[in-house]
Amino acid sequence: MPAAIKPSSHVVEKYEPVIGLEVHVQLLTETKIFCSCSTRFGAPPNSNVCPVCLGLPGALPVLNQRAVEFAVLAALALNCQVRETSIFARKNYFYPDLPKGYQISQFDKPIAEHGFIDIPSGGGTKRIGITRLHMEEDAGKSLHEGFPNAATTTAIDLNRSGVPLIEIVSEPDMRTPDEAYEYLTRLKEIILYTGVSDCNMEEGSLRCDANVSVRPRGQEKFGTKTEIKNVNSFRFIREALEYEIARQIEVIEEGGAIHQETRLYNAAEGKTYSMRSKEQAHDYRYFPEPDLLPLVVDERWQAEIRRMLPELPEARRLRMVGDYGITEYDAQVLTSSKTLADQFEQAAKAAKNPKRVANLVQSELLGRLKARGLEIEKSPISMNGVAMSADLAEAGTISSKILKDLINLSPAALPAFAVFFVLGFLL
């Protein structure tokens, strides 16, 4: 945080931040929500389009069943109540990347609402409410570089237009940037476990807007909020909130007023900047989409989708603590990735001491992978190899030093490494 905005701790304690998050998640379908165009990322501009994507007269939308199933699956995983009958609506506004002049979304009758996520807080847990989860189509994308005349021209790529999204809107229940970070981390874990999205922030599969205000402690009425956009990592979201909370407190302390507005976060400077003023309520003139029937997800269909639910992260953490005798911290680390948890469990079932395997993974292997910029999927050492080496160390066949050298891929351990290669230590 810039030194220019750093109110004293005494001043900060006078105020309570109020934070709510809106998260857009791209569903991992092969085709778009209302047509058969591909959702493949990285295709040449305007190559995955059709009359429906382009909003041409007479083109009619046809709802993607798989997108509905993914939306319901995510809603159930987030403890939401699924509405049996929901309505698609036209959200009317003008923007160059919106060829129809409206976005097909949901308004007063979303597909799901009243959910929650439990996050760690103050040594316990805190429940963050989810107001609603609704389906909508994505807009196109404005391009400002990478083509002739980019210095004076904006181009439009409509490949993204019509890609299926769910928007998950939290209650304003978070009170610190750390709570917002934990909420997003848990939300991403849950979505990844369900398999409905890859949550790739670099490709725009997960996007987050943060609404934040401050109020005097003890006051029930909310302060004037600002919305922070253009934040592309959870770490930056936390930093943006820290800055914006400090900025609002400073403005109020100096006798100023907070204006409802949209602000952009500049990660290089660690500051938010005003983008545009935001009126009390947008006049999007929502009305039911006349080209789509009400969406009915009856109890039978909901039950079929519910059977697709995997074991979710929190339940898995609790079970792994009991099954393998590992610590809650180790379980938290190991379940942060479904792939990591799957690989650990497969290896732990055959290991003599699963607890030692867990400790080796979280204290040695993961740190080395992170230092090399590798995900667990790209690990040069299999989880079975880690379990085997842990068993050999447990039996005294190899020393702790050789064990660490193996995990570190040290040249000193190459002779032992070759033996493990023969034994299937490597993938």
In this structure, the strands spanning 206-216 and 226-231 are antiparallel
Please report, to the nearest 10 degrees, the dihedral formed by the alpha carbons of residues 51, 56, 57, 61 taken in order: 50
Q: At what angle do helices 383-394 and 338-348 cross, to 10 degrees?
A: 40
Report the pLDDT value the prediction gives residue 5, as an integer from 0 to 100: 72
Q: What is the secondary structure of 270-291 as a DSSP string?
A: TEEEEEEE--SS-----EE-TT
Report the pLDDT value the prediction gives residue 402, as an integer from 0 to 100: 74
Residue 203 structure tokens: 């490709």
User: pLDDT tens, 255-299?
Assistant: 999 999 999 999 999 999 998 876 555 689 999 999 999 999 999
- Under the banding of pLDDT at 50, 70 and 90, the label for residue 11 is confident
Asked whether 399 and 393 are in contact (CB, 8 A), the reply is: yes
φ/ψ (deg, to 5) at 370: -65, -40
Question: Which residue has better confidence, 390 or 194?
Answer: 194
Q: At what angle do helices 383-394 and 414-422 cross, to 10 degrees?
A: 110
- Under the banding of pLDDT at 50, 70 and 90, the label for residue 226 is very high
φ/ψ (deg, to 5) at 7: -60, 150
Rounded Cα–Cα distance for residues 128 and 146 (Å):
41
Of the candidates 310, 249, 255, 344, the residue with the CA atom closest to the CA atom of residue 9: 249
- Under the banding of pLDDT at 50, 70 and 90, the label for residue 424 is very low
User: pLDDT tens, 326-349?
Assistant: 999 999 999 999 999 999 999 999
Asked whether 73 and 63 are in contact (CB, 8 A), the reply is: no
Mean pLDDT of 231-242: 94
Report the pLDDT value the prediction gives residue 363, as an integer from 0 to 100: 83
Question: Which residue has better confidence, 359 or 420?
Answer: 359
Rank 70-84, 362-376, 388-402, 404-418 by mean pLDDT and report only the highest: 70-84
Residue 230: pLDDT over 90: no
Report the pLDDT value the prediction gives residue 211, as an integer from 0 to 100: 98
Average pLDDT along the chain: 90
Poorest-pLDDT segment among 101-105, 123-127, 188-192: 123-127
Rounded Cα–Cα distance for residues 85 and 72 (Å):
12
Rounded Cα–Cα distance for residues 400 and 411 (Å):
16
Rounded Cα–Cα distance for residues 404 and 376 (Å):
18
Asked whether 328 and 346 are in contact (CB, 8 A), the reply is: no
Residue 422: pLDDT over 50: no
Mean pLDDT of 58-79: 98
Report the pLDDT value the prediction gives residue 318, as an integer from 0 to 100: 96
Q: What is the secondary structure of 326-337 as a DSSP string?
A: --HHHHHHHTSS
Question: What is this structure's pTM?
Answer: 0.91
Question: Which residue has better confidence, 394 or 32?
Answer: 32
Mean pLDDT of 216-239: 94
